[in-house]
Amino acid sequence: MQHLWDIRSPKDNMKTRLIFIFAFLLAATLANAQITIKGVVKDQKGETLPGANVYLKDTFDGANSSLDGSFSFETEETGDQILVVSFVGFKTLEKAINVSGQEVVVDVTLQEIINKIDGVTISAGAYEASDIKKVTVLKPLDIVSTASAAGDIMGAINTLPGTATVGESGRLFVRGGEGYETKVFIDGMEVRNAFGATAPNVPTRGRFSPFLFKGTVFSTGAYSAEYGQALSSALVLNSNDLPTQTQGDISIMSVGGDLAHTKKWEKASISAKIQYTDLRPYQDLVRQNFDWQQAPKGMVGEIVFRQKLTTNGLLKVYANADISDFIIRQPNISRGGEKDTIGVDNTYYYLNATYKDILNDKWTFKGGVSATSNQVDLGFNQSRIDDIEKGYHGKATLTWDASERVSVNMGGEYFHKNFSRTIQDDTNFSIDFSEGIAATYIESDYFASNKFVFRTGLRFETNTLLNRSWISPRIGAAYKISEKGQFSLGYGKFTQSAQNEYSLVNRSLLPETATHYILNYQYINNDRVFRIEAYKKQYNNLVKFDDPNDFTRENYTNDGFGEANGVDFFWRDNRTFKNTDYWISYSYVDSERDYQNFNGVASPGFISKHNFSWVIKHFINPIRTQVGATYTYASSRPFHNLNLEGFHNDGTPDFHDLSLNAAVLIKQNIILYMSSSNVFGRDNIFGYEYADAPNQDGFYERQAIRQGAKRFIFVGLFITLTKDGQENQLRNL
């Protein structure tokens, strides 16, 4: 090097000389012999990994591994270097190597990252509809497009296994449980009275529009310690985040109409909606079995507010006001068929505010408050009873991503409830009670590998009315036996305070309890889902009484008990037939209990041993129409035939229903929707009411509990108007 310096450099021109040196050095580097670095990328099991990115740190030298996992690239770097290997789903590996000679051979093994979201999941009991998770049984849209649902979330959920068809109720009866055993949550917060107020044997609907929610978790048992006060089931509805655009919506329906407007800013949005329904015109047109003195009518107002407070922090506020009433005349078999007049006036308010934020890599916060106020004024002939239920719920949850393998969910919540009943007569007798429940919960998931996860949880509840506490354990586990198939199991103890009308009389009634055991196998393969689940459920402390008209404290005890054992089956296929999606649910349940005024252990009247539903949706491209059908079958339900010996000694006919629907996309922003339940007009019978006393021949007269009409037909036109959405964008061109 020295001689070059001497030859080329005029002594007085230092600058030129330096540049020269540099150019020379650069040239020298470029002229350096290239060294090949090669090897094979494998995972822990020794399988080769194609597509991994292999490179020398701080250089551009690298390559992707080929289909056989091998890589090879050339570099001019020498000496100690760091080889980086990165690949999705694996931990990035940095390996010190010495680059010298002609060729360096490095074989690397990557460690799999535990995938807590899309890997092994505890699926026992849970049906999830979500856009975010890849492994789901339902998509959010399914809720609106199921034929038998008629736009009701509960109707769509009722096509899933584990649920029973109880046509005169409309509520969710899960795995041998009664309607009240299912509890609804919006964004983790309690919703009281999620179903509209109704009269006996008049079916109700869920209050909330399916369009409010982006996802749903329907748990038929053994659900998380985060949720309590539900014996059978938790239905967790997750509301939409920020909307995409400012828009207006108009719906014109056969039963009413609504107007909505959404205004979106960059970090916030507000939506308001007003809905008016009146079934009168429809009922004048279509013959009804029920004798309506005044058809159900109602007004619903909704406000939805969203605000992004930090990068990941989202504040959600939802308010709902719902005022409805109807008057119905029902024949009374004990009075020779003379009709009772039953009027229901309902004023309902619900407020839900939640905030969720990712604090840092490890911690996520979720908290909120909800308030429900539900006033039902029930008129029965000349008498009137006013019930007011008020509920408040506050909750804070922290999720701690403790390590790669462990995540912990913990929090506390407080429920307050006040229930009052006023009998509107000369005395204006009024009675009320309050109950507070404080709960803390902690649950941790341990991922032993990407194949095995184990969950343990504890829920600790203190009831202020009873001044007592309960600990409810939860256990869950899942094991992946193959890429697509997994077993999971769930166990948990659940408590739920006695129903209002019982607690009102006897305030020392203990919570009812249920213990769930679930074993589940699930196989998901490219748009096909198969699930089979066996369960055992034991009920204890169920409220028991002798005479339903005896309002003395001693009449009500916790001596009831029961059990439900069954198997649920689910199959969904979105692949075999083009543009066609169908699912089949079948549930078998064997359930018996001794509760309320039962005189012995018997299968309750809401139980059908066999429940079957088949849902199909087919999209016809040329006419942009989705057609759907739902067939529902429920086997005979037991009832107490007073003319026969024994108890719950007779059965109703089987239930069959075929519902059809069609949704036509008339234009991008106009949808026409039509549906009809029970197209064949089958006269389904849900049970019988017997006269209090036998007639002259010693025979108890009876009347059947039937559907309100042969079928329910719905037609709706839904229009979306965007102003500064797409039209604006077209103008920009």
Partner 1 sequence: MKKVTLLIGLLIAGFSLNAQGQAAYIKAMTKGLETMGTAQSEEDLIKAAGHFERIAVKVTDQWHPAYYAALNYINASFNAETLETKDTYTAKAQTFIDQALKLAPNDSEVIALEGFNYMAQLAADPNNRGQSMSPKAMMTFGKAVSINPNNPRAVALMAQMQFGTAQFFGSPTDQPCDNAKKTIPMFDAEKKGEGFAPTWGKSMAEQLIGQCNN
Indicate the residue among 245 and 334 with the shorter CB distance to partner 1: 245
Type of residue numbered 634 = A
Residues 6+ away with beta carbon under 8 Å from 200: 330, 342
Q: Kindly state the smallest distance separating residue 583's Cβ from partner 1, in Å.
A: 15
Question: E strands along 401-544, which residues?
Answer: 406-423, 429-447, 452-463, 468-480, 485-496, 512-525, 528-544
Secondary structure of residue 212 in the 3-state scheme:
helix
H or E stretch covering 388 = strand 383-400
Is residue 88 near partner 1 by the rule CB under 8 A? yes
CA angle 197, 202, 207 (to 5 degrees): 35
| Site string (37-66) toward partner 1, x via CB under 8 A | -------------xx-x-x--xxx-xxx-x
Is residue 5 near partner 1 by the rule CB under 8 A? no
Q: Kindly state the smallest distance separating residue 216's Cβ from partner 1, in Å.
A: 14
Is residue 18 near partner 1 by the rule CB under 8 A? yes
Token pair listed for 271: 């939506």
3-state secondary structure 556-584: CEEEEEEEEEEEEEEEEECCCCCCEEEEE
Q: Kindly state the smallest distance separating residue 113's Cβ from partner 1, in Å.
A: 13
Number of residues binding to partner 1, judged by CB under 8 A:
40
| Site string (672-711) toward partner 1, x via CB under 8 A | ----------------------------------------
- Contact yes or no for 559/596 (Cβ under 8 A): no
Is residue 728 near partner 1 by the rule CB under 8 A? yes
Is residue 485 near partner 1 by the rule CB under 8 A? no
Indicate the residue among 245 and 422 with the shorter CB distance to partner 1: 245
Candidates 15-23, 342-350, 629-637, 699-707: pick the segment binding partner 1 (CB under 8 A). 15-23
H or E stretch covering 29 = helix 14-31
- Contact yes or no for 54/64 (Cβ under 8 A): yes
- Which residue among 5, 13, 26, 644 contacts partner 1 (CB under 8 A)? 26
**How far, in Å, are 18, 38, 49, 175 from residue 46 at the CA level?**
53, 17, 9, 45
Indicate the residue among 600 and 622 with the shorter CB distance to partner 1: 622
Is residue 667 near partner 1 by the rule CB under 8 A? yes
Neighbour-count burial of 486, counting CB atoms closer than 10 A to its CB (0-12 exposed, 13-18 middle, 19+ buried): buried
Secondary structure of residue 67 in the 3-state scheme:
coil
| Site string (131-150) toward partner 1, x via CB under 8 A | x--x----x-x---------
Is residue 337 near partner 1 by the rule CB under 8 A? no
| Site string (585-624) toward partner 1, x via CB under 8 A | ----------------------------------x----x
Q: Kindly state the smallest distance separating residue 133's Cβ from partner 1, in Å.
A: 11
Q: Which of residues 235-294 bind partner 1 (CB under 8 A)?
A: 244-245
What 8-state DSSP symbol labels residue 652? P
Q: Kindly state the smallest distance separating residue 60's Cβ from partner 1, in Å.
A: 4
Q: Which residues pair with 364 in a beta bridge?
A: 358, 399
* φ/ψ (deg, to 5) at 240: -60, 155
- Which residue among 427, 526, 549, 696 contacts partner 1 (CB under 8 A)? 526
- Contact yes or no for 582/572 (Cβ under 8 A): yes
Q: Which chain residues interact with partner 1 by CB under 8 A? A: 14-15, 18-19, 22, 26, 50-51, 53, 55, 58-60, 62-64, 66-67, 88, 131, 134, 139, 141, 244-245, 526, 581, 619, 624, 665, 667-668, 722, 725-726, 728-730, 732-733
